[in-house]
Amino acid sequence: MTAATSTVDPAEIAKFEAMAAEWWDPEGKFRPLHMLNPCRLDYITGQIAAEFGRDLSGERPFAGLRILDIGCGGGLLCEPMARLGGSVVGADAAERNIAVARIHAAQSGLEIDYRHTTAEALAAAGETFDVVLNMEVVEHVADPAGYLAACRDLLKPGGLMICSTINRNPKSFALAIVGAEYVMRWLPKGTHDWRRFITPDELYGLLRGAGLDQVDRKGFVFNPVTWRWRISDRDLSVNYVTTSLRPRG
């Protein structure tokens, strides 16, 4: 895949470089993701460190762990995972995201295996991982049950899946659709279809159905005064995250 980028027309590369700069501009188009990212990373790194007994204050604590990020976009999660020593595969169904993510990883001096592919295709190819990151994807797929079954197949026995999504209730409609898309213009209109949002109970049902054990669940809560996200034990009313484990044997 690396060879492919070198045969692309230079105008195309310039376009992707501009898009990479856009993806990684904390004040730009992807500002909501940048704002949420430290909070997501705190949760993800904490769960991985706890499950695999790693010390986050050490050098390259995720060394030896194979990590997949589904819907990796410009690489906002892949790069931190690689910096922590993980061996990272980033998958995205949008080809231009992969081109953008590759350019940025090269600029950052990070080795990340970015692929233009889907969870289902990776599962069909028999790939397996210690950790699967499944962040803000499940609310966009047509068949969540089938998709989560593919995610389960991507996990090694004892592997960890971290899955975040948006709850479905009047508050999440007000905040995630009206607030984020129409009032704040953080996200393009039509980014989310509220009917596809999933309640925590529905998600647990789907994960259980896929044969995964629940490990943890938390809310991501935005404070409009400090403009910061925080992790909440109780408030899963809008954005929330779950950790589940593929049982051994």
Partner 1 sequence: MDNPAHGRIVADMTRDPDVLIVGGGLIGPTLALALAQGGIRSAVLDALPLPLRRDPGFDGRAYALALASQRLLAALGVWNGLRDAAQPILEVVASDGRAGEGPAPFFLHLDQAEIEEGPLGYMIEDRFLRPALLEAMAAAGVEHRAGAEVVAQEAGPAGIAVTLASGERLSARLLVGADGRASGVANRAGIGRTGWDYGQTALVCAVAHEAPHRGIAHQFFMPAGPLAILPLPGNRSSIVWSERRETAAALAALGEAEFLETLRPRFGDFLGAIRLAGDRYSYPLGLSLANALVAPRVALVGDAAHGIHPIAGQGLNLGLRDVGALAEVLTLARRRGEDIGAPDVLARYQSWRRFDTAALAIATDAFNRLFSNDNALLRGIRDLGMGLINALPGARRALIREAAGLTGEVPRLLRGRPV
Question: Which residues face 232 on adjacent strands?
Answer: 219
Residue 109 lies near partner 1 (rule: CB under 8 A): yes
Give the nearest distance from C-beta 43 to partner 1 in angstroms: 10
Report the candidate in 208, 160, 151 with the shortest Cα–Cα distance to residue 53.
160
Residue 15 lies near partner 1 (rule: CB under 8 A): no
Q: Which of 35, 202 has the CB closer to partner 1?
A: 35
Contact 158, 248 (CB under 8 A): yes
Q: Which of 82, 238 has the CB closer to partner 1?
A: 82
- How far apart CA 148 and CA 190 sit, in angstroms, is 24
Give the nearest distance from C-beta 88 to partner 1 in angstroms: 10
By rule CB under 8 A, what count of residues binds partner 1? 31
Q: Which of 131, 207 has the CB closer to partner 1?
A: 131
Q: Which of 108, 128 has the CB closer to partner 1?
A: 108
Tokens of 237: 């009313």
Question: Which of positions 17-36 make contact with partner 1 (CB under 8 A)?
Answer: 21, 24-27, 34
Give the nearest distance from C-beta 109 to partner 1 in angstroms: 4
Q: Which of 102, 192 has the CB closer to partner 1?
A: 102
Residue 87 lies near partner 1 (rule: CB under 8 A): no
Q: According to CB under 8 A, which one of 59, 95, 201, 233 is a site residue for partner 1?
A: 59
Q: According to CB under 8 A, which one of 13, 15, 32, 45 is a site residue for partner 1?
A: 45
- How far apart CA 102 and CA 47 sit, in angstroms, is 27
- How far apart CA 242 and CA 67 sit, in angstroms, is 17
- How far apart CA 59 and CA 239 sit, in angstroms, is 31
Q: How far is CA 180 from CA 3, 76, 118, 194, in A?
A: 39, 20, 27, 12
Q: According to CB under 8 A, which one of 2, 95, 201, 233 is a site residue for partner 1?
A: 2
Question: Residue 63: CB partners within 8 Å, gap ≥ 6?
Answer: 85, 86
Q: Which of 33, 141 has the CB closer to partner 1?
A: 33
Report the candidate in 206, 58, 41 with the shortest Cα–Cα distance to residue 133.
41
Residue 93 lies near partner 1 (rule: CB under 8 A): no
Contact 166, 239 (CB under 8 A): yes
Residue 205 lies near partner 1 (rule: CB under 8 A): no
- How far apart CA 244 and CA 101 sit, in angstroms, is 27
Give the nearest distance from C-beta 234 to partner 1 in angstroms: 23
Q: Which of 51, 153 has the CB closer to partner 1?
A: 51
Chain centroid to Cα 87, Å, comes to 16
Give the binding site for partner 1 (CB under 8 A): 2-3, 21, 24-27, 34, 37-38, 41-42, 45, 56-59, 79-84, 104, 106-111, 113
